[in-house]
Structure 1
Amino acid sequence: MKSLTNRIGLPPKLMMGYAGLVVFMMGEGLEQGWLSPFLISGGLSIQQSALLFSVYGIAAALAAWFSGVLSEIFGAQRVMTAGVIIFIIGSVFFISVGLPSHNLYVMLPTYALRGFGYPLFAYSFLVWVAYEAPTEKLGSAVGIFWFCYSGGLNVLGALYSSIALPYLGEMMTLWSALIFVVIGATIAIFLNREKVAKKATGERPSLGYLLKGITIAFEKPKIGMGGIVRTINTSAAYGFTVFMPLFFMEIGFTRGEWLQIYACLWSVNIIFNLLFGVISDRLGWRNTVMWFGGMGCATFTVLFYYVPLWSGANFLLTMLIAGCFGACLAAYVPLSAIMPTLAPENKGAAMSILNLGAGLSTFLGPAVVGIFIGSLGTVGVIWVFAGLYVFSAFLMKFVTLPKNHDVVVPASTVE
């Protein structure tokens, strides 16, 4: 482990956290690719399913926002522990009470509680990364974070579900998620004895510092714009899980093929999370987000609809497009390096805005589907997401880094 961390250039304490994050997120996200069709087959409409995921996203957004400032007040490990406990409580009530009731108004608060827990764990660890990683390795460090986050959430979770569902069924598969959550938390928190470094000033923020997690977006407008860009980043990916499985099955794919395509999207994504983390340290953080992220995602969002439709549900070709979309999603990774760099004296607050954007992304995607699917249909929703990605590329034109930024990047990325 020591030789590996020396080669990567990151503290050993982060490597333990990364390992725990993978396992935790595997349990958190194993239902993403199939829960919406399962709920709809049980009697919910697609709009009701979208509402459930939207409320889940609001809860996740609030927790994501709290995670940054709470980590500076109470310490990352304590906030991560609280997140695990809340997630477990929410999961138990959602699975044992919410789902069996078939009542949307019972499912909404129980699933929302589950959604409130996981960002406290994951995004508090991201704050940990922002403080512990050397500045010159920050792009790579956040790339590894998103590699582990997406790998557990969207790849290993989906792979486990594809194996477990035929044997365990939907309900027992959901219960088994708690095993991964507990194991991941144990590795990241309880087996990792080292503490997060204090703020450089030695100042301990008070509860009033929570407001900084909002006001900093107005005090430093570039941070506010970065938060909007992060909100758009994975919005389509979360929206896809609500309506694209139905579209794919309508044009000839099976549920198993959809899950494989979805897993391919995120498998490629986790590889490019690492690649774009390293590439962006050389190419420029802002340029990577603008061109590969915004414009790339806009292009492949549209193709993700038209290619399978026009190719007669060609599985391999659709897998290729899904992989390209996943790669472009990863090009937003440098935002996790840009945001704390824009506010070095308030990294926790800056990361709160980033984390809020990540949480709002889980709300925005299903919300777009719920609002537009009835009037615009599937193709209209696709073009709305494409337009959002173009808008994110436009915003990045104004998110420039300070002149005294000490990481060597192309001149076009600084003021």
Structure 2
Amino acid sequence: MLQRMIARTGLSPKLMLGYAGVLIFMMGEGLEQGWLSPYLIEKGLSVQQSALLFSVYGFAAAIAAWFSGVLAEIYTAKRVMLVGLVLFMIGSVLFLTIGLPSNHLMTMIPTYALRGLGYPLFAYGFLVWVAYEAPRERLGSAVGIFWFVYSGGLSVLGVLYSSIALPILGEIHTLWSALIFVMLGATIALFLNRGKDESEAQREKPTLAYVLKGITIAFENPKIGLGGIVRTINTSAAYGFVVFMPTYMMDFGFTRTDWLHMYAALWGVNIIFNLLFGIISDGLGWRNVVMWFGCIGCAITTVLFFYMPQWLGANYLATIVIAGLFGACLAAFVPLSALMPSLAPENKGAAMSILNLGAGLSTFVGPAVVGLFIGPFGAAGVIWIYTGLYLLAAVLMKFVTLPAGDASADSGNTRLIKQKGAL
């Protein structure tokens, strides 16, 4: 029965094992997302210092995300994922034994940043594997499943686990328990997943010129560069929220557990719509879904999420609903993962590097906006900056189009175009 279900997806069993491994790995990576910043602030860091820590972490993640695409094409996805596992484990141990106990920002930053180098190599390395392994007509659905397991582990299961583990284990032991999930996920994705992946057939010699292709392609094909900017904007607000929104919500009467539930609801809805928008985009059009549901939708729900407590007070249900709507709109950016490699079919790894760079930069840009602007403009000013970025992304998506001969992803109705071609 399980084999029949896998066969219906049109995806290989190897990818399914990989998805399961990424889900569990990202659960370990993301379990501190919703509470680490307020915990550090309680220990003596300022909001700006916490934002700096998360920004440097995000910058390290962006660098690793950029390299993940071209390195996966050169050395294969599995090897890049293995390196990501090793870096994450080393960084975690150093952060927990040296950085965090020191309560000194300049000691925390390098150890936490080393940890940030690891997870993009693992997760985005696998995304390159998906781009090669999945059939072209199922690519939107395949990347939708990837973002389903990525977000499900990072921001839903990890956050829910934290809400249960924190009262029992405390902050430090909860962080240590993350290594269990990371090792289990890597075992499933790598050590139980035998056989060569499709990217290995595309391997090229590891030359500096090809590594640089992961940057130069953004200028050779400006649409790929624009797509990278849109991907940077995509989750920037979500990563910025973790720096200041917990404190903001608590000022209106919510508890830390309430905030964790909001954050889990945001990403819980997100993972469902990662699947739905991945499937829907194969019909409505990749660009259309990103532009209208993603960019415009996030601009509206970002404002609502911030102002809802001011309008209704500590209304738990209303805030949970708005958080979920924001998460749904974030999911509408999923088709970028199908659109980007389709813009450069001969250089999928390089195109995915730009996409991955954008994903990594969002973890840097989001907290950086908080650190730079919350002082002079306050929390409201930060929210309106995020809103403006989403509206800018909508304008940029007008120009991210596929060639006329491959218009199906822009116009939708892929099946109709294929049928016409067969007549």
TM > 0.5 fold call: yes
RMSD across aligned positions (CA): 1.5
The answer as to whether partners of 1:282 and 1:409 remain within 8 angstroms in 2 is no
Alignment of 1:137-148 (within 5 A): 137-148=138-149
Quick one: distance in 1 between partners of 2:235 and 2:279? Answer: 20
Shift of 1:61: 0.1
Q: Which runs of 5+ in 1 are unaligned?
A: none
**1:350 and 2:351 equivalent?**
yes
Q: Deviations over 1:218-274 (max 9, x none)?
A: 000000000000000000000000000000000110001010011000000000000
2:243 equivalent in structure 1: 242
Quick one: distance in 2 between partners of 1:198 and 1:53? Answer: 32
Alignment of 1:230-379 (within 5 A): 230-379=231-380
Q: Deviations over 1:183-213 (max 9, x none)?
A: 0000000100021114776754534310000
2:116 equivalent in structure 1: 115
1:226 equivalent in structure 2: 227
The answer as to whether partners of 1:73 and 1:207 remain within 8 angstroms in 2 is no
Q: Deviations over 1:143-174 (max 9, x none)?
A: 00000000000000000000000010000000
1:134 equivalent in structure 2: 135
The answer as to whether partners of 1:296 and 1:328 remain within 8 angstroms in 2 is yes
Shift of 1:2: 2.1
1:98 equivalent in structure 2: 99
Quick one: distance in 2 between partners of 1:131 and 1:365? Answer: 30
Quick one: distance in 1 between partners of 2:30 and 2:152? Answer: 10
Quick one: distance in 2 between partners of 1:27 and 1:405? Answer: 39
**1:86 and 2:109 equivalent?**
no
Distance 1:229-1:409 versus aligned 2 partners, 3 A rule:
closer
Q: Deviations over 1:68-116 (max 9, x none)?
A: 0000111100000000000000000001100100110000000000000
Corresponding residue pairs, total: 414
Quick one: distance in 1 between partners of 2:27 and 2:293? Answer: 27
The answer as to whether partners of 1:72 and 1:205 remain within 8 angstroms in 2 is no
Alignment of 1:141-180 (within 5 A): 141-180=142-181
Scaled by the length of structure 2, the TM-score of the pair is: 0.96
Quick one: distance in 2 between partners of 1:190 and 1:405? Answer: 38
2:420 equivalent in structure 1: none
Shift of 1:309: 1.4
1:47 equivalent in structure 2: 48
**SS, match of residue 44 in structure 2:** coil
The answer as to whether partners of 2:76 and 2:203 remain within 8 angstroms in 1 is no
Distance 1:242-1:3 versus aligned 2 partners, 3 A rule:
same
The answer as to whether partners of 1:17 and 1:125 remain within 8 angstroms in 2 is yes
Quick one: distance in 1 between partners of 2:378 and 2:207? Answer: 48
Identity fraction in percent? 71
Task: Please tell me the residue identity of whatever aligns with 1:350.
Answer: A
Q: Deviations over 1:300-338 (max 9, x none)?
A: 000001112110111000011000000000000000000
Shift of 1:405: 2.1
Distance 1:231-1:29 versus aligned 2 partners, 3 A rule:
same
Task: Please tell me the residue identity of whatever aligns with 2:43.
Answer: G
Distance 1:3-1:33 versus aligned 2 partners, 3 A rule:
same
Quick one: distance in 1 between partners of 2:189 and 2:202? Answer: 26
Quick one: distance in 2 between partners of 1:148 and 1:83? Answer: 18
Q: Structure 1 stretches (4+) deviating beyond 6 angstroms?
A: 199-202, 411-414
Task: Please tell me the residue identity of whatever aligns with 2:210.
Answer: Y
Distance 1:406-1:192 versus aligned 2 partners, 3 A rule:
farther
Shift of 1:56: 0.1
2:402 equivalent in structure 1: 401
Quick one: distance in 1 between partners of 2:312 and 2:298? Answer: 20
Name which of structure 1's ranges 139-148 and 301-310 shifts more when overlaid on structure 2: 301-310
Quick one: distance in 2 between partners of 1:80 and 1:202? Answer: 16
**SS, match of residue 403 in structure 2:** coil
**SS, match of residue 344 in structure 1:** coil
2:75 equivalent in structure 1: 74
Shift of 1:4: 1.7
The answer as to whether partners of 1:20 and 1:183 remain within 8 angstroms in 2 is yes
The answer as to whether partners of 1:95 and 1:175 remain within 8 angstroms in 2 is yes
**SS, match of residue 404 in structure 1:** helix
